[in-house]
Amino acid sequence: MKNQDQTIQTKFNIPEDYSGQRLDQVLAQLLPEYSRSRLQTWLKSGHILINGTPASAKQKVIGTESVELKITLANEQRWSAQNIPLDIVYQDEGIVIVNKTAGMVTHPAAGNPDNTLVNALLHHVPETQLLPRAGLIHRLDKDTTGLLVVAKTLEAHHTLTKALQMRDIHREYACIVKGALISGGTIDKPMGRHPKTRLKQAIVANGKCAVTHYRILDKFQHYTHLKVILETGRTHQIRVHMAAIDHAIIGDPIYGGAFRAPKNCHETIKNAVKNFGRQALHAKKLSLTNPTSKVQQTFTAELPNDFQALLNLLKELDA
């Protein structure tokens, strides 16, 4: 992968419901892939035009204004297209729904420069190369499986990004956790970066709002199969929240702690859980309003083979 000059070029209209807000705040919401400080720098340098002319970061928007951004960033890393198998569940002119496999990193970063979902998208859906983060609207952890929505056009990207911020994209997960839960519930605990370990998230008093709803699907002697619905979408949210109530997800290498076999647990179950190898977490259902057709659509992805095999074993030997 070579470092090349990268040209960022985009044009869109500000929705009317942003009327009265400061321009820099509006742009930060509509272009979340760029930091607010970077956007303010571009405004000051005249690289962002509002209705064809440079504008002030503090000016208030009316709504419907035309936004144009064109800037060349020198020595920025350009992501490459790679012919990597990709399970595309659905595709139309505006969006792609992908069923991500375990072990696939979502986008290139330090330590994972290629062989990611983004590299695969750039090959299978070439038009995503023109979009921020190759059209990604949200992410899944490397070893979490399931559904992701990707935009194919700038208009779809703006619409879906706003829908995610407004909590209008419904995401349902399946997971298997340690311990036998008695009932479902809601976890409302603010989250932020772990104060000591940079790669971890944690429950912190001054963190961002994080709300997770969970319901029991199957209850076993030593484990529980849950349906989990995200109200917010913080990094590692389900994993952190389940660990916070002492029901960490099976196989979670970061938040699950060292393996401890439950008392009186079947030996086969012990071995299966100990050797599962990843967090038992799957993005099972995704519902959204299609930005092109404006029709509400729901997509589902069957449980992956390893998850289903573990679940079958629990039903047979841990019921």
Catalytic residues: 141
Q: Identify whether the C-beta of residue 60 lies closer than 8 Å to the C-beta of residue 6.
A: no
- Estimate the crossing angle of helix 23-30 against helix 36-44, to 10 degrees: 130
Q: How far apart are CA 308 and CA 11, in angstroms?
A: 45
Residues 6+ apart with CB under 8 A from 214: 181, 184, 185, 186, 187, 226, 227, 228, 229, 242
Q: How far apart are CA 152 and CA 157, in angstroms?
A: 7
Nearest partner of 218 among 180, 244, 252, judged by Cα? 180
CA separation, residue 178 to residues 56, 213, 262 (Å): 53, 17, 9
